[in-house]
């Protein structure tokens, strides 16, 4: 069995909170109306599909089919990936129980706790009564497994309606999920298409195909072969703890002493660091963490957050896109004349590591707008709603950012891509549509934007210089024949003819236009002037 | 068979002009040969570079120079236009032609088609309006130091002259006292006129063509030995040059008779000092000795000891109320140095006080004989003019 499939089989889950709760409050998860629910369902399934592929270094092949069941307002949404697949033992819980990751380890992923897809299943079930259908074949497995599942809402338990498996002929691995929900395609159409387009921008290493209810086929080919490095799982950083997290960590820990517990449960804490911390916090290293009272836990959490000498959180858990992928994605989909991307060094806020990336695309087929076209991403997910309340908008907004300094004056054909990746993206709401203005993130966004904008400025400056030279060359060449003819007419007999005056004049022009010979040749090439008398 | 017509005076003028062109434009060629940016250096024709020379009493071009370089994005087209115009004029001189400024506009107007790197054509005219080509002609005049008349460029004849005088124009001798009821139209190239003999004591220039005809028919110029001229409104260059030559070469005093209003005063000013737009030709066209004979405000209203030529009743009939534009113009004239003499100040002040103007025709209305045999000779005799 390959290493990848080991990972797939080891993913473990445990129940978190009753699905009843989400049934009552489905709006907060984005299922507020048929249009939004259709968009949200596509999104959850696509994000799971990508998480099952690129996170493990697999170049994603994803197909999405949205069909309307004739004569109804019900839609079947099927998403298939070539990912690592799901261990058949976990399939019922993965789709039929509102679950929580069993390990308190962190890493960047698109969906969190696999909550979203269960919401889609739940929503489908209550609006159409139809179960979710899953085909999956884990990497290395010789079989394909099939499930038809419903959720027992009161008990928060999966109900397996059908189950089958057969041996597989080819090498296929991955998962195919079909959910049926009540939706509103006419109102969801533009959002869904935009979502897929934006997803394709940051996943140029993926091949994405979508067939929509109108019969349109959208195809985004794979244009780069490199998949970004996947995130590694890391333990929480002590700066990021609260009482609740502490309790859970202690509960699942077998450590006998507080010192042992700290070393085992957190990153950036070794023997020496643990001793120093406990000494400064005046805590007994040998106390059994399971015996701590609420007050003591509160004190411990506070001291952990305040202690200054922990190493900064590890960025291993993060998976930035990298400048090449951002540039390739922007180039292929927006078709700009210039593109640049910047990936900043890892930073942390409140114990959570994060990396900010910014891409700028300029000119070409981008329309000139009164403000920058903003493409926001968090952990590789496009964010489409609530743009103006997002910290990224705050940073790129021409009222806050001096675009003129970078030779951009609006209306301008410019698109800005922002990507924030973190083990904990500070969303403003559970709908995951806008990022809160955390000062550390805002600062990094601004630094990244400046860095990218400086490169844009250099490009525009060079372009301006070239255009200026071109304009001069054109102007001079345009009028040269008249000037040559006039001088020849007036001064004939002085040993001059049109040819030699022209040559001399071009020589002077070349000297006056301060560009290198190569550019000059390029500018002069193919230009022609004629006079109609 | 008659021999081909040869105009010797013309030929000489052409030769001179061609030579100047070659010398001036050789400088441009030399610049190019030295690898320099070809540059036309010419006096600036702007109001700020128009200077009133107090001693010579002339409007002249100041010392400011304009450098028009070909390899200067903003000057390239003008440079091209200047050279294009120079070529057309040069060719006309060579071919014994007499173009008008309108002809030159049409000859030089054509389309430059520029094909960009994609082969897409872009069209541009060498010039679009005559305003542009006229400006370039003026530039060539200042660049070469040749007036358009010296380049044999014609304009419409406007001025007329009669008097006891014989001139040579082309190959013909013309007796200006034998023009019948008509008059000799002053040719656009008055420098090519030769004065043969003259029997006259002064020159009278009348703004209005109709008054000129009346004075001609009543025999004014015979009786008073005058050369009678009309500019028919604003004087053209030829009339001004002709008047200047009469004054300068024949030492005849020049009197100017216009309407009594700021426009009439400005016509006088153009004869005497030069015009602002064409200040570069003042040296050759202006007649600094010209005298303003009338009609003056003091003729109408009297002043101090001077008795008015018009009675109260006549004033009531003949005077026209000044318009807003007249008053505005009067205030402008007050700013010009040459209108700041005591006599002119008196004129302008009376005008502004009375807000009245008067046309010369009104004096003829009082009686042509009054105008011809009393008003004009009396004013000349008594020295009642403004310098």
pLDDT digits (tens, 9 = 90+) for B1-22: 455 666 777 888 899 999 999 9
pLDDT digits (tens, 9 = 90+) for B126-185: 999 999 999 999 999 989 989 888 899 988 888 999 999 999 988 899 999 999 999 999
Answer yes or no: are the C-beta atoms of B297 and B380 closer than 8 Å.
no
Claim to verify: residue B122 and residue B172 sit in the same structural domain: no
Strand duo A352-362 + A347-349: pairing:
antiparallel
Claim to verify: residue B198 and residue B146 sit in the same structural domain: no
Q: What number does CATH give the domain A3-220?
A: 3.30.565.10
Last residue of a domain, one of B151, B181, B203: B151
Nearest to B310 by CA among B348, B352, B265, B360: B360
**Cα angle B322-B325-B326, degrees, rounded to a multiple of 5:** 45
Residue A25's pLDDT is 66
Tell me, rounded to whole angstroms, the distance of Cα A229 from its chain centroid: 14
Claim to verify: residue B134 and residue B178 sit in the same structural domain: no
For residue B167, give the 3-state DSSP assignment: strand
| Domain containing residue B208: CATH number | 3.40.1360.10
Claim to verify: residue B118 and residue B167 sit in the same structural domain: no
The DSSP output letter for A325 is H
Cis peptide bond N-terminal to A411, omega within 30: yes
CA distance readout (Å), A121 to A42, A53, A78, A94, B213: 12, 21, 12, 11, 109
Residue of B71, B84, B113 lying closest to A476 (CB–CB): B71
> Which residues of chain B does A483 touch, with a Cβ-Cβ cutoff of 8 Å?
38, 70, 79-80, 83
Claim to verify: residue B214 and residue B131 sit in the same structural domain: no
| Residue B35: domain span | 8-151
Q: What number does CATH give the domain A238-306?
A: 1.10.8.50
The per-residue DSSP string of A158-224 comes to EEEEEEEEEE-SS---EEEEEEEEE--HHHHHHHHHHHHHHHHHH-TTSEEEEE-TT--EEEE----
**pLDDT band (50, 70, 90) for residue B375:** very high
Q: What is the number of residues in chain A?
A: 533
**Tens of pLDDT along chain A (533 residues)?**
344 444 444 444 444 445 566 666 666 667 888 999 999 999 989 988 998 898 888 999 999 999 999 999 999 999 999 999 999 988 888 887 765 443 445 667 676 545 678 888 888 988 999 999 999 999 989 999 999 999 887 777 889 999 999 998 888 999 999 999 999 999 999 999 999 999 999 999 999 999 999 999 999 999 998 888 878 878 888 888 888 888 888 888 888 898 999 898 888 888 888 888 888 888 888 888 888 888 888 888 888 888 888 888 878 888 899 999 999 999 999 999 999 999 998 888 887 889 999 999 999 999 999 999 999 999 888 998 888 989 999 999 999 999 999 999 999 999 999 999 998 889 887 667 889 999 999 999 999 999 999 999 999 998 888 888 888 888 888 999 999 999 999 998 777 888 889 989 988 988 888 777 777 777 777 677 777 66
Claim to verify: residue B118 and residue B263 sit in the same structural domain: no
> Which residues of chain B does A471 touch, with a Cβ-Cβ cutoff of 8 Å?
73
CA distance readout (Å), B54 to B57, B245, B280, B347: 5, 21, 16, 21
Claim to verify: residue B132 and residue B178 sit in the same structural domain: no
| Residue A516 contacts B, CB cutoff 8 Å | no
Strand duo B160-163 + A61-68: pairing:
unpaired
Residue B183's pLDDT is 94
Residue A28's pLDDT is 65
Claim to verify: residue B205 and residue B114 sit in the same structural domain: no
pLDDT at residue B29 tops 60: yes
Claim to verify: residue B249 and residue B167 sit in the same structural domain: yes
Residue B18's pLDDT is 95
Residue A21's pLDDT is 62
| Residue B35 contacts A, CB cutoff 8 Å | yes
Residue of A479, A494, A525 lying closest to B117 (CB–CB): A525
CA distance A64 to A47: 12
CA distance A350 to A239: 6
Residue A3's pLDDT is 45
Which range has the worst mean pLDDT, A245-254, B83-92, B338-347?
A245-254
Claim to verify: residue B307 and residue B172 sit in the same structural domain: yes
Last residue of a domain, one of B151, B171, B189: B151
CB within 8 A of B254, min separation 6: which ones?
B202, B203, B205, B243, B246, B247, B271, B287, B289, B290, B291
> Which residues of chain B does A479 touch, with a Cβ-Cβ cutoff of 8 Å?
70, 76-77, 79-80, 112
**In a domain? residue B3:** no
Which range has the worst mean pLDDT, A105-109, B146-150, B292-296, B362-366?
A105-109
Residue A106 is encoded by which pair of tokens?
């962190």
Query: Token pair 């109900």 is at which residue?
Result: A159
Answer yes or no: are the C-beta atoms of B39 and B67 closer than 8 Å.
yes
Contact A490 B126 (CB under 8 A): no
Q: ipTM of the predicted structure?
A: 0.76
Give the start-to-end residue ranges of the domains of chain A. Answer: 3-220, 238-306, 323-456, 460-524
| Residues of B with catalytic function | 106
Nearest to B189 by CA among B10, B8, B18, B5: B10
Residue B278 is encoded by which pair of tokens?
């064409």
Claim to verify: residue B207 and residue B77 sit in the same structural domain: no
CA distance A265 to A255: 9
> Which residues of chain B does A472 touch, with a Cβ-Cβ cutoff of 8 Å?
71, 73
Residue of B22, B84, B115 lying closest to A527 (CB–CB): B115
**pLDDT band (50, 70, 90) for residue B23:** very high
CB within 8 A of A251, min separation 6: which ones?
A290
Residue A446's pLDDT is 95
Last residue of a domain, one of B120, B151, B182: B151
End-to-end CA distance of chain A: 84
The per-residue DSSP string of A229-280 comes to PPPPPBPPPGGG--HHHHHHHHHT---SSHHHHHHHH-TT--HHHHHHHHHH
Query: Token pair 């085992």 is at which residue?
Result: A264
Q: What is the mean pLDDT of residues B47-69?
A: 82
**In a domain? residue B1:** no
CA distance B155 to B167: 21
| Residue A474 contacts B, CB cutoff 8 Å | yes
Nearest to A230 by CA among A199, A265, A205: A205
Claim to verify: residue B200 and residue B316 sit in the same structural domain: yes
CA distance B268 to B280: 18
Neighbours of B78 (CB within 10 A): 20
Strand duo B226-230 + B202-206: pairing:
parallel
CA distance A293 to A276: 22
Residue of A476, A512, A527 lying closest to B116 (CB–CB): A527
CB pairs under 8 A between A and B: 107
- Which residues lie across from A151 on neighbouring strands? A158
Strand duo B111-115 + A528-532: pairing:
antiparallel
Contact A479 B114 (CB under 8 A): no
Q: When comparing pLDDT for B201 and A432, which is higher?
A: B201
- Looking at the domain covering A323-456, what would its CATH class be? alpha beta
**pLDDT band (50, 70, 90) for residue B364:** confident
Task: Quickly list H helices, B34-115.
Answer: 76-94, 101-108
Q: Looking at the 3D structure of chain B, how many domains does it have?
A: 2
Q: Tell me which chain A residue has its CA closest to the CA of residue B73.
A: A472
Residue B131 is encoded by which pair of tokens?
């305003």
């Amino acid at each position: 069995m390959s290493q990848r499939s080991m990972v797939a089989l080891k993913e473990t889950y445990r129940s978190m909170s009753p699905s009843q709760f989400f049934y009552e409050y489905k709006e907060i998860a984005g299922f507020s109306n048929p249009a939004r629910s259709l968009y949200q369902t596509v999104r959850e399934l696509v994000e799971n599909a990508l998480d099952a592929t690129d996170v493990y270094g697999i170049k994603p092949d994803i197909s999405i089919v949205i069909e309307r069941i004739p004569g109804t307002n019900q839609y079947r949404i099927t998403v298939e990936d070539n990912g690592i697949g799901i261990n058949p033992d976990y399939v019922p819980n993965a789709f039929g129980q509102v679950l929580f990751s069993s390990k308190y380890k962190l890493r960047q992923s698109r969906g969190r706790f696999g909550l979203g897809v269960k919401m889609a299943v739940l929503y489908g079930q209550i609006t159409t009564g139809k179960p979710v259908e899953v085909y999956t074949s884990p990497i290395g497995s010789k079989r394909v497994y099939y499930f038809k599942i419903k959720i027992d809402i009161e008990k928060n338990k999966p109900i397996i309606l059908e189950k089958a498996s057969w041996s597989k002929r080819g090498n296929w691995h991955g998962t195919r999920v079909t959910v049926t929900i009540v939706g509103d395609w006419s109102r969801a159409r533009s959002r869904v298409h935009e979502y897929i387009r934006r997803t394709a921008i940051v996943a140029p290493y993926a091949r994405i195909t979508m067939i929509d209810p109108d019969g349109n086929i959208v195809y985004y080919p794979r244009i780069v072969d490199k998949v970004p490095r996947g995130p590694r799982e890391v333990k929480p950083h002590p700066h990021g703890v609260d009482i609740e997290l502490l309790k859970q960590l202690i509960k699942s820990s077998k450590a006998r002493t507080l010192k042992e517990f700290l070393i085992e449960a957190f990153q950036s804490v070794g023997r020496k660091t643990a001793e120093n911390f406990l000494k400064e916090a005046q805590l007994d290293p040998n106390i059994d963490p399971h015996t701590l009272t609420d007050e003591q836990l509160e004190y411990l959490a506070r001291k952990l957050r305040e202690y200054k000498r922990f190493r900064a959180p590890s960025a291993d858990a993060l998976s930035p896109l990298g400048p090449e992928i951002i540039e390739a994605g922007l180039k292929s989909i927006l078709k700009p004349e210039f593109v640049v991307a910047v990936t900043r060094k890892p930073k942390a806020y409140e114990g959570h590591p994060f990396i900010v990336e910014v891409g700028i695309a300029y000119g070409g087929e981008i329309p000139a707008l009164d403000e920058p076209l903003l493409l926001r991403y968090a952990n590789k997910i496009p964010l489409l709603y609530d743009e103006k309340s997002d910290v990224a908008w705050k940073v790129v907004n021409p009222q806050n950012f001096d675009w003129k300094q970078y030779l951009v004056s609006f209306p301008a054909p410019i698109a800005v891509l922002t990507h924030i990746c973190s083990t904990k993206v500070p969303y403003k709401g559970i709908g995951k549509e806008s990022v809160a203005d955390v000062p550390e993130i805002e600062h990094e966004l601004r630094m990244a934007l400046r860095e990218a904008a400086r490169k844009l400025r250099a490009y525009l400056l060079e372009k301006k210089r070239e255009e200026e030279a071109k304009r001069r060359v054109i102007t001079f060449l345009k009028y040269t024949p008249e000037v040559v003819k006039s001088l020849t007419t007036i001064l004939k007999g002085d040993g001059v003819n049109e040819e030699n005056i022209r040559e001399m004049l071009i020589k002077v022009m070349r000297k006056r236009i301060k560009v290198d010979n190569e550019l000059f040749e390029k500018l002069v090439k193919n230009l022609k002037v004629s006079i109609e008398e | 068979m008659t021999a081909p017509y040869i105009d010797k005076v013309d030929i000489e003028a052409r030769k001179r002009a061609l030579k100047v062109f070659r010398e001036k434009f050789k400088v441009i060629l030399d610049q190019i040969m030295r690898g320099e940016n070809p540059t036309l250096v010419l006096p600036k024709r702007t109001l700020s570079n128009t200077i009133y020379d107090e001693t010579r009493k002339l409007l002249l071009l100041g010392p400011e120079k304009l450098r028009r370089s070909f390899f200067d994005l903003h000057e390239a087209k003008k440079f091209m236009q200047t050279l294009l115009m120079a070529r057309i004029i040069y060719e006309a001189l060579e071919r014994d032609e007499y173009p008008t400024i309108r002809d030159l506009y049409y000859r030089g107007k054509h389309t430059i088609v520029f094909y960009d790197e994609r082969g897409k054509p872009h069209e541009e005219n060498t010039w679009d309006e005559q305003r542009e080509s006229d400006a370039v002609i003026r530039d060539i005049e200042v660049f070469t130091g040749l007036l358009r008349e010296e380049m044999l460029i014609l304009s419409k004849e406007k001025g007329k002259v009669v008097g006891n005088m014989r001139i040579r124009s082309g190959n013909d001798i013309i007796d200006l006292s034998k023009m019948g009821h008509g008059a000799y139209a002053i040719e656009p190239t008055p420098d090519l006129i030769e004065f043969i003999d003259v029997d006259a004591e002064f020159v009278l220039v009348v703004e209005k063509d109709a008054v000129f005809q009346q004075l001609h028919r009543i025999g004014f110029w015979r009786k008073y030995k005058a050369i009678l001229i009309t500019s028919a409104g604003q004087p053209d260059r030829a009339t001004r040059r002709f008047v200047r030559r009469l004054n300068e070469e024949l030492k005849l005093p020049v009197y100017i008779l216009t309407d009594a209003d700021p426009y009439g005063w400005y016509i006088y000013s153009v004869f005497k000092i030069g015009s602002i737009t064409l200040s570069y030709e003042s040296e050759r066209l202006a007649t600094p000795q010209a005298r303003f004979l009338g009609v003056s405000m003091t003729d109408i209203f009297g002043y101090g000891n001077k008795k008015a030529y018009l009675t109260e009743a006549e004033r009531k009939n003949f005077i026209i109320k000044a318009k807003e534009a007249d008053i505005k113009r009067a205030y402008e004239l007050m700013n010009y140095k040459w209108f700041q003499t005591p006599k002119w100040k008196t004129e302008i002040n009376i005008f502004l006080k009375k807000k009245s103007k008067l046309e010369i025709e009104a004096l003829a209305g009082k009686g042509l004989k009054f105008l011809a045999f009393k008003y004009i000779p009396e004013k000349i005799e008594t020295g009642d003019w403004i310098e």
